[in-house]
Structure 1
Amino acid sequence: MPLTDTACRTAKPKEKPYKLTDGNGLYLEVKPNGVKAWRYRFELSDGATKKESVFAIGDYVIAPKGEMPEQAEERRKGRRFTLSEAREERVRARSLVIQGINPAHHRQQERVKRDYEKAITFEAVAKEWLALKDWEDITKSKRLKMLERVVFPRIGDLPMKAITPVNILDVLRGAAQENGPSVAAEAKRTMSGVFELAISTLRTTSDPVYPVRKALPANKTQHKRPLSVKEIGQLLRDVESHGGRHETLCAFRLMWMTLCRPSEAVEAQWSEFNLDKALWKIPAERMKKRKAHTNPLPLQAVEMLRGLHLITGKYAHVFPHRDVRTRPMVSASFRQMLNVLGWGGKYSPHATRTTGSTRLNEMGYSADWIERQLAHTEQNAVRRTYNHAEYLDDRAIMMQRWADMLDSWKKESA
C-alpha cells in the first residue's frame, strides 16, 4: 500500500535501518539515529545488461504551518521533502531514467553548473569585456572607474543570470541621481555591452538592460551647443564668484583659455609647462589622438600658473586631488561646481571647445589655426600629407586675443 503522512511521521527508529515502501520505486528509509530519508530505486540499462541503482532524493520533513511558497522552495533546495513532494521528485527522476540518464549524475552536473554560474559575476564579465576592447589604456581606466563607482557596488557580485531589469533600473536611477544623466547613459551602454558578450559566450540568455532602456528621461543637456557671448560672460562671472577650491577655478580657466579637453586640464603636470616660453606641451599618452600637442599660453594663463606654482608646485600635478595629493583632480569637480552654480543641464565643460571654435571662426581666424588649436586631425588625406604646419606663432596671437575677449566678456554687465 502507498504510504501516508501518518505512517511516515510516526515511524520509529530501530537497531537497523528499515524501509517503508510507497511504490513505483520510492521508499522511506528509517535510520537508527532517527533520520528518515527518501530513496528511489531504479534500473538503468547500459545496452547489454540492466544495473540497479538507488537515488537519494532527500530527507523526510513535515511542512511547517503557514509556510510561504518561497520558504517551501528554499526548503526543497536544501533537499527536505514532504511525502507528496518526494513523489514529484520520483516522477522527475523517472523521466531521466527513461532517457537513459542517471538522476544522481544529473544532479551532480546541475550542481557544478550552478556553481559555475554563480562564479560568473557581472564584475568578472565586465572586466573581461573591457580587456577585449580595442581602446587606449587611459580610456579603459576611465570606464573601469565608472563601473567601480556606479555599477559594481549594486550588481558587481551578482551572477549574470541572476540580474534582472529591476537591478538594472536601480543602477540607472542611482547613477542619474548621484552622478548625472551622462554617467547614467554611459552605464547603460556599458552594461548592455557586457551582457552582449555574456550572451555570445553562452553565459546568460538575455540582456536585462533592454526592457528598461527608456525608463529614464533622455539627457537634455546640450553638451555641444556653443554658448553665446552673453552666456560666456555670465558663466565666467559665476565661476569667478564661486566659493570652492582655488585649484578648481584655475583648472576651469585654463580649459577656457586654451580650449583643451576637461581631462587634459585637470590632469596637467608641471613638467609639461615652459612658462618662460609660454608653452604647454601635452604628451601623446594624455591626448585623445595619442599625438603630442603644444598649446601656446596667453599672458593671463602664464600669470595664473606662476601664482599657482607657489601653492601646488611641490606636487607633480598642477591641480592635485583634494584628498590624495599624489593624484590629479577629477573632471567631475567641474560638474559639481556647475551644478552648485545652477549651470548643470545648461552647459557641459565639453561645450567649451565647441564654443571656442564657433566664436573664433566668427572673429575671422583661419580654420586651420582653430582646428590645430583643438588638436583635431585633418580628415582629408591629401591635405593631411602636405600640411604639417603647427601654426604655433599664429595660434599664439589668436589665443591671446581669445583670452582678452574672455576678460572683456566677463567684465560686461549681464
Structure 2
Amino acid sequence: MASIKAKLTESVLKNIPLEITRITDTELSGFYLNVGKPKKDGKRSLVYYLYYRLGGRGSKERRLALGRAPALSVVKARELAKQYIGDVSRGIDVFLEQKERTKAQKQEAEAPTVQELATEFLERYIKVNRKDPLEGERMFEKDVLPVIGGVKLKDITRRDILSRVLDPITDRGAGTQANKTLSILKQMFDFAVERDLMQGNPISTAKKKNVGGIEKPRTRALEFKELIQVFERLPKLGVSTQVIYALKFIALTGCRPIEVTGAQWQEFDFDKMIWTIPAERVKQNKGGERIHKVSITQKF
C-alpha cells in the first residue's frame, strides 16, 4: 500500500491504482484523499480530508473529514478545505466544531416527539391507572396527536398546546372535553418530567376556567314520556342491538358506561334481583374496595 502526491482532479479519481491508499494534493497543503480497499463490487471508498495543526509544530494533529466522493466533487471539496484553512488560521479548531455540530444533529434527530411520549404515557400510566383507558386513547387520537404529535418535546410550548389543541376543542362547543384534555395533558407532561424527557411541564399552571370555562353541574333530567321517545328513536339511529341495550341499561340504572359495558353474567343474582358491580369498575379512589349493588326487575 502506498501514497502519492498529485493535484486532485476528477480524472485522477477515476484512475487510482489498486496499491494507492492516499493521494496528497500538491496545490493545497493538508488536503488529501483517503482511498479504501476494494469491496465485493470492486468499488472503493473515497473520502476527502484536511490535515492541520492548531498552533503550529508540536501542537495536536487534526484530521477533518470533508465528505465522500463522488457525492462531493473535487472542486467543492477543495473550496471547503480552503474555507477551513482560513478558519484554522484565525485560531478556530474546525475539527471540534464539526464534532459538536454532529453531536447536536444527532441529538436533534433522536429528540423524542409528543407522539413518542404519548405512546409511553398511554402504555405505562393510563393503561395501568385508569379503569377505562380507551377514553384517554380517543382524546389523543382525535385532538392531540394529529396536530402536535410530530413536535419535538424540546420545542413544544404552552402556546402550541393551548392554541392548537385546546382552543379548537372549546371553539366547537366542547368546553368540558377541553378541560378533560387539559387534565390528561398535564398528567402526560408531568410524566415526561419524571422520566427526565423534559425540564418542566409547559402547562402546569394552566387553569380549566381559562380553557373550557367553569363547568356547571347539569340538573336536567328526562321525563318518563321523553325517555319513551328516546327508546323508540334508538332503533332508527343505525346502531347495533348491543349498543341500544347498553344505552337503555344506562338510562334506567343511572350507572356509568364502563360499569354497564363491562358487566358479566356472574354479577347478576336473579333470585335476589341484585346486580353487584365489583370495586374495580366503581368510580372511587384508586385501590378502593367499595362495590355497588343495583336493584333489577323482571321487566328490566
What is residue 4 of structure 2 aligned with on the other side?
Answer: none
Distance across 2 between alignment mates of 1:171 and 1:162: 15
What is residue 39 of structure 1 aligned with on the other side?
Answer: 50
2:253 to 252, 258, 264: 258
What is residue 122 of structure 1 aligned with on the other side?
Answer: 114
Distance across 2 between alignment mates of 1:175 and 1:20: 66
Where do residues 163-182 of structure 1 align in structure 2 (5 Å cutoff)? 163=156, 169-172=163-166, 181-182=175-176
What is residue 340 of structure 1 aligned with on the other side?
Answer: none
Aligned residues of 1:284 and 1:292 also touching (Cα < 8 A): yes
Deviations 1:216-246 (A, max 9, x none): 9736875x21115xx5457524422322344
1:273 to 268, 271, 274: 268
What is residue 218 of structure 2 aligned with on the other side?
Answer: 225
RMSD: 5.2
Deviations 1:330-378 (A, max 9, x none): xxxxxxxxxxxxxxxxxxxxxxxxxxxxxxxxxxxxxxxxxxxxxxxxx
2:192 to 168, 192, 198: 198
Aligned residues of 1:255 and 1:262 also touching (Cα < 8 A): yes
Distance across 1 between alignment mates of 2:232 and 2:278: 33
Distance across 1 between alignment mates of 2:100 and 2:161: 31
Distance across 2 between alignment mates of 1:204 and 1:273: 48
Where do residues 140-219 of structure 1 align in structure 2 (5 Å cutoff)? 140=133, 142-144=135-137, 146-148=139-141, 150-152=143-145, 155-156=148-149, 159-161=152-154, 163=156, 169-172=163-166, 181-199=175-193, 202-204=196-198, 218=212
Distance across 1 between alignment mates of 2:160 and 2:54: 46
Aligned residues of 1:281 and 1:292 also touching (Cα < 8 A): yes
Distance across 1 between alignment mates of 2:193 and 2:82: 35
Aligned residues of 2:34 and 2:49 also touching (Cα < 8 A): no
What is residue 296 of structure 1 aligned with on the other side?
Answer: 295
Distance across 1 between alignment mates of 2:162 and 2:82: 38
Deviations 1:128-148 (A, max 9, x none): 445357963525564345435
Identity %: 20
Whose relative contact order is higher, 1 or 2, with alpha carbons under 8 Å and at least 6 apart? 1
Distance across 1 between alignment mates of 2:153 and 2:107: 13
Quote the offset at 1:200 in angstroms: 5.9
Distance across 2 between alignment mates of 1:114 and 1:92: 27
1:136 to 121, 129, 139: 129
Deviations 1:144-200 (A, max 9, x none): 454355544555465423556558755557767999554443333333433344356
Taking a change above 3 Å as real, the CA distance of residues 158 and 288 of structure 1, as seen in their structure-2 partners, is same
Quote the offset at 1:279 in angstroms: 1.0
Quote the offset at 1:287 in angstroms: 1.1
Look up the SS of the partner of 1:226 in the other structure.
coil
Aligned residues of 2:169 and 2:175 also touching (Cα < 8 A): yes
Quote the offset at 1:96 in angstroms: 6.5
Query: Which amino acid in 2 is paired with 1:227?
Result: R
For structure 2, list consecutive stretches of 5 or more residues without a partner in the other structure.
Answer: 1-7, 17-22, 36-43
For structure 1, list consecutive stretches of 5 or more residues without a partner in the other structure.
Answer: 1-9, 63-79, 305-414
Distance across 2 between alignment mates of 1:167 and 1:85: 45
Quote the offset at 1:261 in angstroms: 2.0
Structure with a larger share of its residues in helix: 1
Aligned residues of 2:52 and 2:61 also touching (Cα < 8 A): yes
**TM-score of the superposed pair, with normalisation by structure 2:** 0.59
Taking a change above 3 Å as real, the CA distance of residues 91 and 171 of structure 1, as seen in their structure-2 partners, is farther
Taking a change above 3 Å as real, the CA distance of residues 145 and 51 of structure 1, as seen in their structure-2 partners, is same
Distance across 1 between alignment mates of 2:67 and 2:193: 34
Distance across 2 between alignment mates of 1:146 and 1:204: 22
Distance across 1 between alignment mates of 2:177 and 2:90: 53
Aligned residues of 1:12 and 1:30 also touching (Cα < 8 A): no
Taking a change above 3 Å as real, the CA distance of residues 276 and 202 of structure 1, as seen in their structure-2 partners, is closer
1:55 maps to 2:100: no
Taking a change above 3 Å as real, the CA distance of residues 288 and 205 of structure 1, as seen in their structure-2 partners, is same
- The count of aligned residue pairs is 261
What is residue 232 of structure 2 aligned with on the other side?
Answer: 241
